[in-house]
Amino acid sequence: MKITLPTAGGGLAPYTLKGPGRFKPALPSQPLTRIAYSAAHVVADPRAAIDPWLQCAVDWDATIAYRERLWSMGLGVAEAMDTAQRGMGLDWPTSLELIGRSLRAAKAHPGARVASGCGTDHLAPEAARGIDDVIRAYEEQMAAIEALGGKLIVMASRALARVARSPADYERVYDRVLSQAKEPVILHWLGDMFDPALAGYWLGSAAGGGAGGSADVAAAMDTALGVIAAHADKVDGIKISLLDKDQEIRMRRRLPPGVRMYTGDDFNYAELIAGDGIGDTPNQRQSDALLGIFDAIAPAASAALAALAADDLGRFHAILAPTVPLSRHIFQAPTRFYKTGVVFMAWLNGHQSHFTMVGGQQSTRSLPHLVELFRLADAAGLIEQPDLAAQRMRTLLALHGIES
């Protein structure tokens, strides 16, 4: 299959697609040696008569169908997270409906994992007067999700980042939240490259939060580890998304036995999941996964995890290595716009009928960015239907004034 694509120099050149890779994804019942959640995107409803920058409309059938695809490959779903545009178009009422629908759909898939984002996003950061407001906001979402039978991912809070004055404020909030959780939760540490409003998380404004240097990260890590140590029986694990493998490894080696590190590093996931064998307990030697990129590379991710479970480390790396340049491109700065690339992949591969996003976020990446994404996806064997993908790429080019 050939297509004419724009070049870096501003011209046009023919491109021949490589075609789909020969991945053998894991079966839903297949035992794996890593827990792997894919943070999953939502499919917008492009026909809804709304103000798309201000209101949220979801195509529920297509959205749930995508989750069923992930479960069919043995991947869990991290629901209503950053990849689902939480805080960037997906509001709390719609998030709760999404969580409920996902939990109900999972019942038809034995063994399907769902963990759901619990945050404070219904509380505008500027409306938070103090720590008690943040606690109440967390408690409201916790109660709603647990009433549905959901497992919690306690998301980082913009409101908390705004009002916290010191690490003690974080300790107070998480002490209250974790002491009330019905079952062990996953904590969530999202770096400011994903959300600038979270700069200085775990530190507080009076502690110098927001500088972003290595000393700040070390101090923030100390606070987070202190919270985990104080409530180890209520913490399944922590997902950190700092795009810094060395910091993740440092933290992983300090986790209490049994508390998992869920890598959120979309730059270095392959080596972090494989592990380094260093640490007193298994959880300190390797990372499990909770990744946005797994939405876009699901067949490869599942096949690689199956290879790892079969002790075929060479095959594991051979599958994932070509996906890393794609992931680094999708998550390039401004990193918070990575969702556009994830949804673009779903559209190219026929998992939704349109390239429209909640909040109009399809406009956050340029045409050259999407063209390069197309090439990198093909190089990784992740263009599942070359004819369809080429047709849709031509449509995108035509919308940008390029007839090929």
Give pLDDT, residue 213.
Answer: 57
Give pLDDT, residue 211.
Answer: 44
Question: Whole-prediction pTM value?
Answer: 0.96
Give pLDDT, residue 183.
Answer: 97
Give pLDDT, residue 30.
Answer: 92
Any idea where the domains of the chain sit in the sequence?
A: 29-335
Give pLDDT, residue 94.
Answer: 97
Give pLDDT, residue 403.
Answer: 85
Residues of the chain with pLDDT below 50 are: 210-211
CATH topology of domain 29-335: TIM Barrel (3.20.20)
CB 165, CB 171: distance < 8 Å:
no
